[in-house]
């Protein structure tokens, strides 16, 4: 463009001195206009190329930890009709969530802010705690089995819990302290017919009561109790003639050939 400007400037001087015609000066002026237009086009092209160059640099909209990467450096990415997944980014692994599938029979007992405990296969001896954050209403139906997704929030301050781990979850539906409890095996134990006739105190449980058997002086004694909450392994005893330290029968290990042996073959636990 500088050359066209100089030519136009010299043309004006020469026209004033009468050395060139007006038509020649118009040609020089036209060349200057074309040069300016070409400069503007070149600037626009440079600006467009700079914008496209910025598009080639992909930046995450948030700061966090890259969980998965689906592309490599230099790989061509074409969006086509949908946005491709390049990276999976977790904003903060110190705050994680558990997606839990709960059967429809149990979903009525779940509430938000409810406490849960869980462990993972990587740390089987360690128990973690979390709380229910959300109960999603959209059911999942597979082979006529209906489940609901429950989201629980868990703090991962140590960073030992990783995305994708399988959590074995227990919901705390009820909680009591300092209660008398027995093994569920004791509630399921039933003596043989002959042994049931040994004790004169044997009687059929009354309505709502549960009967278990206490070993006292090597004799089975039926005891009627009222049960409370259970965790699937141990059950609370609400009322009944049962005390801490009583020997409760959970099973009979005697076989048919040793029924006449000592009654001490009973297995029992002390509570």
Which residues lie below 8 Å from residue 181, measured CB to CB, with a gap of 6+? 234, 235, 236, 237, 271
Query: CA-CA distance, 130 to 155, in Å (whole number)?
Result: 7
Whether residue 232 lies inside any domain: the answer is: yes
Same domain, 103 and 148: yes
CATH number of the CATH domain containing 166: 2.40.30.170
CA distances from 108 to 63, 104, 127, 135, 225 (A): 38, 7, 25, 11, 28
Of 1-10, 56-65, 122-131, 149-158, give the lowest mean pLDDT range: 1-10
Whether residue 135 lies inside any domain: the answer is: yes
> Is 0.85 surpassed by the pTM of this model?
no
Q: Give me the pLDDT at residue 265, please.
A: 52
Domain-ending residue, one of 171, 194, 221: 171
What's the domain range around 34? 2-55
Q: Which residue did the predictor score with more confidence, 204 or 95?
A: 95
Total count of domains within the chain: 3
Whether residue 47 lies inside any domain: the answer is: yes
Same domain, 229 and 148: no
Q: Give me the pLDDT at residue 220, please.
A: 83
Per-residue burial over 222-260, b if 16 or more Cβ lie within 10 Å, else e, is: bbbbebeeeeeebbbbeebebeeebebbbebebeeeeee
pLDDT of 52-86, one tens digit each?
888 777 777 777 788 888 877 777 776 665 667 77
CATH number of the CATH domain containing 255: 2.40.420
93 closest CA partner among 116, 119, 67: 67
Query: CA-CA distance, 20 to 45, in Å (whole number)?
Result: 37
Contact 225, 243 (CB under 8 A): no
Q: Give me the pLDDT at residue 135, please.
A: 94
Of 160-169, 197-206, 247-256, give the lowest mean pLDDT range: 197-206
Terminal alpha carbon distance of the chain:
102
Domain-ending residue, one of 150, 171, 192: 171
Q: Give me the pLDDT at residue 251, please.
A: 83
The DSSP output letter for 62 is: S
Whether residue 9 lies inside any domain: the answer is: yes
Domain-ending residue, one of 149, 171, 193: 171
Whether residue 82 lies inside any domain: the answer is: no
For 170-179, what is the mean pLDDT? Answer: 84
Q: Give me the pLDDT at residue 254, please.
A: 63
Same domain, 20 and 97: no
pLDDT of 33-51, one tens digit each?
777 778 888 889 999 988 8
Contact 151, 168 (CB under 8 A): no
């Amino acid at each position: 463009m500088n050359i066209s400007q100089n030519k136009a400037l010299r043309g004006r001087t020469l026209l004033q001195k009468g050395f060139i015609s007006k038509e020649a000066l118009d040609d020089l002026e036209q060349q200057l206009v074309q040069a300016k237009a070409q400069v503007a086009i070149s600037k626009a092209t440079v600006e467009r190329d700079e914008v496209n160059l910025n598009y080639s640099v992909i930046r995450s909209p948030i700061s966090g930890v890259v969980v998965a990467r689906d592309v490599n450096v230099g790989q061509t990415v074409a969006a086509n009709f949908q946005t491709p997944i390049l990276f999976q980014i977790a904003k903060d692994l110190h705050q994680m969530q558990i997606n839990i599938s709960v059967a429809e029979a149990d979903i009525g007992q779940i509430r938000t802010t409810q406490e849960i405990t869980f462990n993972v296969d990587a740390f089987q001896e360690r128990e973690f705690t979390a709380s229910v954050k959300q109960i999603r209403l959209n059911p999942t139906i597979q082979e006529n089995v209906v489940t609901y997704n429950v989201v629980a929030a868990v703090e991962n301050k140590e960073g030992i819990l990783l995305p994708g781990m399988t959590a074995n979850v227990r919901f705390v539906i009820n909680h009591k302290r300092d209660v008398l409890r027995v093994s569920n095996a004791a509630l399921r134990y039933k003596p043989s017919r002959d042994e049931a006739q040994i004790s004169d105190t044997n009687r059929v449980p009354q309505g709502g009561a549960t009967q278990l058997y206490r070993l006292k002086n090597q004799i089975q004694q039926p005891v009627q109790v009222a049960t409370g909450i259970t965790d699937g392994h141990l059950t609370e005893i609400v009322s009944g003639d049962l005390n801490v330290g009583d020997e409760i029968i959970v099973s009979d290990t005697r076989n048919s050939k040793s029924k006449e042996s000592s009654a001490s073959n009973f297995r029992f636990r002390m509570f």
